[in-house]
Amino acid sequence: MKIEAIDLYAISQPLIRTFVTSFGPQRERDCLLVAIHSEGLTGWGECVATNDPGYSYETAKTAWHILSDFLIPAILGEDLQEAEQLADWFRFVRGHPLAKAALDQAAWDLTAQRDGVSFAQKLASPYAEGPRSRVKVGVSIGIQPTMDETLYLIQEHVEKGYGRIKLKIKPGHDIELARTVRAAFPELVFMLDANSAYTLNDVAVLRAMDEYDLLMLEQPLGYDDIFEHSKLRPQITTPLCLDESIKSADQARFAVEIEACDIINIKPTRVSGWTEARLVHDIGREAGIGLWVGGMLETGVGRAAQLALASLPGFTLPGDISATERYYDPDITAPFVLNSEDSTIDVPTGPGLGVEIDMARLAGVMSRRTSFT
Ligand code: OSB
Ligand code: MG
């Protein structure tokens, strides 16, 4: 398929609720969308780089620069057979996984449409099991101004049917939170995400978490670290999960080899896309690592592709793929809704991503658009 044209959009949508993590608040969600055109088909991808460089060094603005000046010119006019080719085409750009992942997602969507299969079917084709039809999900709740609001939000989401709750922590907002939540909800399946806010000097705090029967503790130490996580792991009984520091299949291999984690949160965007995410899945599955699909406050475009990844057989834990109405109302696609009876979301079955973009809504939230031909 000759890559005939690519559109790049910058959009900005208000979040229904400000999302606060240890690296700060997000009120407006800026992100980019890419559309690859070929043979009358259009493949869509979302770039989830955030407004600020708190989660990673990439921002929506650096991603615009890398996409428009390097990645898009490198693939325009090329003959795309399979999305796996992109890794070679992009090798000349160091880093910038979130920018690369947008085009990777669009290439998977486009080639799945060409093949007349869903993104999930195409991604799951190497596995005898095939894709799951619905995937287990949980919800990620940002840091709230008061403990009462935290408890209220947990209650609200449990009532909606979410079977797993993730809470954000930061120094000074940790042990008391875990203690209070466990006391209020003795049976709750919950976990904590520190987004790299601690150091090995805080082992006493992290060890105190062992009391509260957490599903896991996510990325307590450095955002690029696996070495110190491997030092921490034998000192706590809570299962240790890595997010930020696994940016490639190689880093997943290294983490497994030095026993730095029990669990990996695979965000396809953080590892440059779905091809690499599937490799991380295979490495983790082979090593008996717990796996789940992480989120970055995606719109319906990104959610559809997260669901496709989560349909692979090695995912053992609920993903951060909550219903889109939690973040955007209306969204730029039809909403994804929770199956409240089993805390799942259905994997789209239509060709490619299986979602339709509301172009009028997109025009309403768009701040910038460039077409490359
Ligand atoms: O660390 O998992 C994270 C959102 C933005 C940046 C980092 C993270 C998150 C989330 C939200 O936890 C997950 C979601 O519901 O999309
Ligand atoms: Mg995280």
**Average pLDDT value for residue range 246-263:** 98
State whether the beta carbon of 244 lies less than 6 angstroms from ligand 1. Answer: no
Q: What is the mean pLDDT of residues 47-67?
A: 95
Is any ligand 1 atom within 6 A of the Cβ of residue 319?
Answer: no
Q: What is the pTM assigned to this prediction?
A: 0.96
Residue to probe by mutation, ligand 1, list 297, 303, 326, most atoms within 8 Å of CB: 297
User: Which pLDDT belongs to residue 349?
Assistant: 97
Q: Among this protein's residues, is 168 annotated catalytic?
A: yes
So what's the pLDDT on residue 22? 87
- pLDDT tens across 168-214, in order? 999 999 999 999 999 999 999 999 999 999 999 999 999 999 999 99
pLDDT tens readout for residues 279-317: 999 999 999 999 999 999 999 999 999 999 999 999 999
Choosing from 122, 166, 168, 247, the catalytic residue is: 168
pLDDT at 273: 98
- Residue 274 pLDDT greater than 90, yes or no: yes
- Specify the pLDDT at position 354: 97
The reply to whether ligand 1 has any atom less than 6 angstroms from the CB of 55 is yes
Q: What is the mean pLDDT of residues 61-79?
A: 98
pLDDT, position 329:
85
Residue 247 known to be catalytic: no
Q: How far is the CA of 373 from the centre of ligand 1 (A)?
A: 34
Residue nearest to ligand 1 atom 5, measured at CA: 296
Which conformational region is residue 143 in: left (phi greater than 0), alpha (psi within -120 to 50 degrees), or beta?
Answer: beta
